[in-house]
């Protein structure tokens, strides 16, 4: 294993154990200080264009039927080993960047789907390539926030993954432009205490990724809009701020 590779994993583990470290892992709505084996596979599944998996499936179908040993040995197996190592042997699970090498190794495998055009048809391959490109480019100018169509509405991405998978960019300029377009909303941006009215909060702070529980009440509400996919806008009523026991609900 390359020294820098090992040191990077060790450094991430060290930082995650410090008070000012990365914070808990967040996968499928669950915060945990312990790694979950399905964390990185979920990231790979949700943050990769679905067309890629179709192309990969076509290529693997062909390779299986023709016993394409080099493809399995030099591309697929190393990719699976990398994914398994991080899924079961690495505790910090903050972002898909940890397993991008596994995805890179799968690119030549998916590209092999272009070879049997006579069987699957050039139109199908062109459609898949077009779907891939359109899906990926649709998130510009915030490509890091990309999620594929499995999550449903994009505003709900924070319910699946967060941290550097979603909220890791400086949004100040985008927020300023949004406020200029909507002066009537009088938006409070990450206030110290949640007021009634319109509140804009980053996904990581909303979910308490950095052990911040200031916006715990907002987690019960449905966001009405977003800025750059990672800052969520809520409309908070006076009733939303009342203790839940006062509304006849358990706190």
Quick: pLDDT tens for 114-138. 665 555 577 888 898 899 999 999 9
Q: What is the pTM of this model?
A: 0.84
Provide mean pLDDT across the span 56-70. 72
CB 10 within 8 A of CB 68: no
Provide mean pLDDT across the span 216-233. 94
| DSSP reduced 3-state for 173 | helix
Provide the strand spans (E) within the chain.
25-27, 30-32, 188-189, 197-202, 225-227, 231-236
- Pick 232 or 110 by higher pLDDT: 232
Maximum CA extent, the chain: 68
With a pLDDT cut of 70, the percent of the chain lying above it is 86
Q: What pLDDT does residue 19 have?
A: 55
Provide mean pLDDT across the span 102-124. 75
How many whole angstroms separate alpha carbon 158 and alpha carbon 203? 6
CB 104 within 8 A of CB 134: no
State the pLDDT confidence band at 3, using cuts at 50, 70 and 90: confident
Alpha-carbon dihedral of residues 176, 181, 187, 188, nearest 10 degrees?
0
Q: What pLDDT does residue 180 have?
A: 95
Provide mean pLDDT across the span 218-222. 92
Long-range own/partner contacts, residues 41-46 (CB < 8 A, 24 or more apart): 41/83, 41/87, 42/160, 42/161, 43/93, 43/95, 43/96, 43/99, 43/161, 43/165, 44/83, 44/96, 44/99, 44/102, 44/103, 45/150, 46/147, 46/148, 46/150, 46/151, 46/160, 46/161
Residue 33 has pLDDT above 70, yes or no: yes
Pick the range with the lowest mean pLDDT from 191-195, 222-226, 239-243: 239-243
């Amino acid at each position: 294993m390359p020294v820098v590779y090992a040191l990077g994993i060790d450094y991430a583990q060290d930082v995650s154990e410090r008070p000012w470290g990365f914070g808990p892992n967040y996968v499928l709505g669950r915060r945990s200080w312990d790694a979950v084996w399905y964390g990185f596979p979920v990231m790979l599944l949700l943050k990769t264009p679905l067309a890629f998996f179709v192309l990969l499936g076509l290529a693997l179908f062909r390779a299986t039927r023709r016993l394409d040993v080099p493809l399995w040995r030099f591309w697929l197996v190393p990719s699976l080993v990398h994914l398994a190592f991080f899924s079961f042997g690495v505790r910090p699970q903050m972002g898909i960047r940890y397993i991008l090498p596994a995805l890179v190794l799968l690119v030549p495998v998916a590209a092999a789907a272009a070879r049997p055009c006579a069987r699957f048809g050039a139109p199908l391959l062109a459609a898949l390539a077009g779907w891939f490109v359109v899906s990926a480019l649709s998130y510009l100018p915030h490509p890091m926030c990309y999620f594929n169509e499995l999550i449903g509405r994009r505003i709900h991405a924070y319910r699946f993954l967060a941290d550097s998978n979603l909220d890791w960019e400086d949004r100040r300029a985008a927020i300023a432009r949004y406020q200029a377009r909507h002066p009537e909303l009088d938006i409070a941006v990450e206030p110290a205490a949640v007021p009634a009215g319109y509140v804009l909060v980053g996904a990581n702070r909303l979910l308490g990724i950095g052990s911040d529980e200031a916006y715990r009440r907002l987690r019960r509400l449905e966001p009405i809009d977003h800025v750059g996919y990672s800052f969520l806008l809520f409309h908070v009523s006076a009733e939303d701020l009342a203790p839940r026991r006062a509304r006849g609900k358990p706190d």
